[in-house]
Amino acid sequence: SSSLFAAIDMAPRDPILGITEAFNADTNPGKINLGVGVYYDDNGKVPLLACVQKAEAKLMEQQSPRTYLPIEGLAAYDKAVQELVFGAGSPILQEKRAVTVQALGGTGALKIGADFLKRFSPNAEVFISDPSWENHRALFESAGFVVNNYTYYDPATHGVNFEGMLESLKAMPQGSIVVLHACCHNPTGADLTQEQWGKVIEVVTANELVPFLDMAYQGFGAGIAEDGAVVRRFAEAGGPLLISNSFSKSFSLYGERVGALSVVASNAEEAARLLSQLKRVVRTNYSNPPTHGGKVVATVLSTPELRQLWEDELAGMRVRIKEMRDALVKKLADKAPGRDFEFVREQVGMFSYSGLTKEQVGKLRAESIYAVDTGRICVAALNSKNIDRVVDAVAKVL
């Protein structure tokens, strides 16, 4: 028998996975899972976008051999990502200051970025928002960093404690790595205004912090260009900048693992050196990325009709979520008069910090409605068929 394995403890369970397990085991046919981090359509299904189906049909016809991709991924994909993230014709791209590597989803992009930063800034500390996507902390800790929080959410206003956030940024040691949600903050749904971003960029630049923008939901906020504007503003500020982006949600391609890491350097020569080091990180992790998802996304983004179709389909998802926010607010005003849920309309993206307490979430579970203990609900899991049941149950537990 192996004493090495015999001494290994059971790792703690993933809290979101625990909700899904409980949901799956529930035999109530009316059960509703608002704990997920996935976009569902009005029929409660994960969509297969028409632009993806058409791109796949095209790729199927080509019958390409499955050779290895370059370490940094498919060239057409990396280029399409850059144009989406920085804007086609951006001076950053013309000056060849940005380098991009295809990654295994947004998570893979964050991990490549974290490993890269650990090599070249080993003593820096990392700061994530309080609260943040739960994997941010684990990811940067597993790359060897000490991870701290910066002030972000204010439960009293259901919005951002912006003064507190600025104070946190000002107090960070020079060279600290600050992870910022570019749009559609997960888990709270509370985003900064464009004016507030301007102040954040000033402090980040003055304090010589290293911004790492995580953009997992481009197109789910105000629109593709609008959501990406913050990346351009940071890039123009001139300092070092890392951006992880993901197509899991915007293309509904969760299982294909399509994302990218982009890094902005001071000039083309520095950018070339950065790329060589990023490739080293990839090479020693998984050698090179898979072909299918990258080809699908590159095909859609670079074929005008498919690109238009994608933008329309993405707008459809964005609009449906907003309709569900509106419906939730209106119906709750009816069923729970005197309680103000207006803030749900102000929140952006797939999630809402609903303000429900852990105890209330527990009571919802007795009604076979599943949410995260923090009160986070996935607005994209609401639809015209289940919303009344959700509203009735919420009104009952308030």
Taking CB under 6 A as the binding criterion, the range among 84-92, 104-112, 200-208, 262-270 that sits at the site for ligand PLP is 104-112
Q: Does 214 bind ligand PLP (CB under 6 A)?
A: yes
Q: Which of 31, 32, 37, 97 binds ligand PLP (CB under 6 A)?
A: 37
Does the protein bind ligand PLP through residue 299 (CB under 6 A)? no
In sequence order, the β-bridge partners of residue 369 are 32
Annotation says 214 is catalytic: yes
Asked if residue 51 lies in contact with residue 306, where contact means CB atoms within 8 angstroms, the answer is yes
Of 123, 84, 115, give the one whose Cα is nearest residue 279: 115
Of residues 78, 115, 214, 227, which has the active-site annotation?
214
**360: Cβ contacts below 8 Å, ≥ 6 apart:** 375, 394, 397, 398
Site for ligand PLP in 165-194 (CB under 6 A): 181, 186
- Cα angle 355-246-72, degrees, rounded to a multiple of 5: 155
3-state secondary structure of 174: coil
Three-class SS state of 279: helix
Told to check if 220 binds ligand PLP by CB under 6 A, we report no
Nearer of residues 16 and 333 to ligand PLP, judged by Cβ? 16
Query: Which of 210, 216, 235, 327 is the binder for ligand PLP (CB under 6 A)?
Result: 216
CB 259 within 8 A of CB 245: yes
Nearer to ligand PLP, 16 or 203 (CB): 16
Q: Which stretch binds ligand PLP (CB under 6 A): 105-113, 190-198, 228-236, 265-273?
A: 105-113
Q: Which is nearer to ligand PLP, 102 or 248 (CB)?
A: 248
Q: How many residues bind ligand PLP (CB under 6 A)?
A: 12
Residue 186 contacts residue 16 (beta carbons within 8 Å): no
Minimum distance from residue 351 beta carbon to ligand PLP (Å)? 8
Quote the CA–CA distance of 348 and 311 in Å, as a whole number: 18
Active-site annotation holds for 133: yes
Task: Select 113 or 240, whichever has its Cβ closest to ligand PLP.
Answer: 113
* 106 lies in the site for ligand PLP, by CB under 6 A: yes
Give the whole-angstrom CA distance, residue 304 versus residue 26: 45
Bridge pairing between strands 369-370 and 32-33: parallel
Cβ 371 to ligand PLP shortest distance, Å: 16
Q: Which residue is nearest to ligand PLP (CB)?
A: 105
From 100-108, 274-282, 323-331, 367-375, give the range in contact with ligand PLP by CB under 6 A: 100-108
Contact 133, 372 (CB under 8 A): no
Does 105 participate in binding ligand PLP (rule CB under 6 A)?
yes
Torsion 103-104-109-111 (CA) sign: negative
Distance in Å, CB of 246 to ligand PLP, minimum = 3
Report phi then psi at 229, rounded to 5.
-55, -35
User: One symbol per residue from 231 to 250: x for binding ligand PLP (CB under 6 A), - otherwise; what is it?
Assistant: ---------------x-x--
Three-state DSSP at 373 gives coil
Residues of 116-129 as b/e, b for ≥16 C-beta within 10 angstroms? bbbeebeebbbbbb
Site for ligand PLP in 117-146 (CB under 6 A): 133
Cβ-contact 51, 309 below 8 angstroms: yes
- Choose the catalytic residue: 31, 133, 191, 227: 133
By the criterion CB under 6 A, which residues form the site for ligand PLP?
A: 37, 105-107, 133, 181, 186, 214, 216, 246, 248, 259
Annotated catalytic sites, by residue?
Answer: 133, 214, 249
